[in-house]
A and B are shown apart, each in its own frame.
Chain A
């Protein structure tokens, strides 16, 4: 509005606004923008703080840190056991939660009629998604560790997290399936396909990008989850891990987030740097994987 040349529109607008600058609108827009910038800015500070704290570790022992086992001596401690544990747990989660979760979503979206039982199952899954993670730890402790007698082994941790992410897999897969328009299914039914043939050849291919993103996000959630594993036995004291994958799955274990939790609690400053370095590895995995999944979803998102 300022300036020497006043266009007709400006003049009319100024007249309508009573000739004053609308500073209250400016103030609101500024406050809203500020809250967005603070919300994003805090996380930038977080990342910068972690990178700065972690830098010495990566500069001094770039590969050694990733390949050394846990140790009470900070100069020799590494995260290899946590990486192996987290990857094996994520593998168990994907083997258990993905087939059951995707199957449940297919039933709810493609087969289930609107009956009381099916409505109950849907509500139940939504509620399960809101149960705090640590309660799943209690379930794992009671069922897998105690009743089934597995003890505090990696398999028990993996199954606990599989149960934890199952509702998320069901919900995201259901959304992806529901986004496929009915006309696609009718086309398949019209040429004589059965329901399963329709799902397999028509619905799933179109829903695949959405299902893929949802499953990746839930696996990343399992990769970074800590609290329930504390209850089902992830440890961070020094322990030796050896043997093939089968032995590892049935023995004591630790995960990357568990190591971060314990290192953060140690009094020595060296462990703080190690914790930041472990966080850098954890965040690199989660942010890259999630970013790629969300980017792919937005890229291949179809508007029908």
Chain B
């Protein structure tokens, strides 16, 4: 294009702004690769649902229905009492939440409303780091410390393996998680709500409990539900400290041994080197897995709906 002539450039030769074909092809390839990576997550979900339902169906079809509601969970003797492992799971999760809910939410309120900016900057990362402690470590702690030093001192005569010690350890495990999520929720409450409360003469206590906590209640509920979901799915602590690896009678006493859904699965997996031992043990593993999956899936959906409520408000 020369600017010396006054006439406009000829219409037959416009400036070519199109991307070179090679560059365009590379764009398309890269996009396709990333799309494939994202679509892979659907393959995983499909795989989980397909293997769980397929093998669980094989179990349900073959098992004697009476064996699903008997005196206890003894898979190698053909006794698959569902209420035993569900009750064990619920007892341990309840104990865990009795520990984790007050500690986690109390710590969260303190960090968000009382602690100075510098304290918070130090303690928040520490809580995040503590949330990464592997569960096998807390299982060991339950067996080596909580049960002999705490539970057996308070309740003499309790066996070393008991659901109370396992539940306390699960509670300790999920406390940092509950604290971290609840703190995020309270930290996200806009400052003008606090300022409005202070402006009306409210103290810090009133502002925290009557203004900030209600405003963040969706996030706090989400933290608690996620905590329950983690407690239900927690495996190693229960497998190590709750005992009953060979099976368990139906039992509601937290000071006794107990079997959870997750521990029942590990017991089946390590009881013999080959999971395909007795007739239906392999399939029963998937039946319990499906049960566990449905429990946690429902809780996670519930927690998600609470989180979405927070997002809508602010």
Contact = CB atoms under 8 A, between A and B. Distances in A.
Secondary structure class of chain A's binding surface, majority of residues: helix
Q: Name the interface size band of chain A.
A: 35 or more
B70 interface: no
B34 interface: yes
Given A128-B41, A131-B293, A138-B51, A36 B106 contact: yes
Contacts of B300: 126-127, 130
A161 B187 CA distance: 33
Interface string A13-40: 0001000001011001101111110111
Contacts of B138: 46
Q: Which of A39, A100, A264, A279 has the most CB of B within 10 A?
A: A39
Interface stretch (A58-66, A71-79, A221-229): A221-229
A158 interface: no
B170 interface: no
B104 interface: yes
Contacts of A112: 38
Given A135-B52, A142-B51, A265-B240, A43 B130 contact: yes
B64 interface: no
B311 to A, nearest CB: 13
Contacts of B23: 194
Given A127-B45, A138-B285, A225-B134, A276 B37 contact: no
A231 B107 contact: no
Pairs of residues from A and B, 7 with the lowest C-beta to C-beta distance, nearest first? A132-B233, A35-B106, A224-B134, A103-B37, A107-B34, A227-B235, A130-B300
Interface of B: 19, 23, 26-27, 30-31, 33-42, 44-45, 47-48, 51-52, 55, 102-107, 109-111, 114, 121, 123, 125-130, 132-141, 143-145, 172, 175-176, 179, 201, 203-205, 208-209, 226, 229, 232-236, 239-240, 262, 265-266, 269-270, 273, 275, 285-286, 289, 292-293, 296-297, 299-301, 303-304
Given A50-B137, A224-B134, 10 more contacts: A46-B137, A103-B33, A103-B38, A130-B229, A137-B265, A195-B31, A231-B265, A265-B240, A283-B137, A287-B133
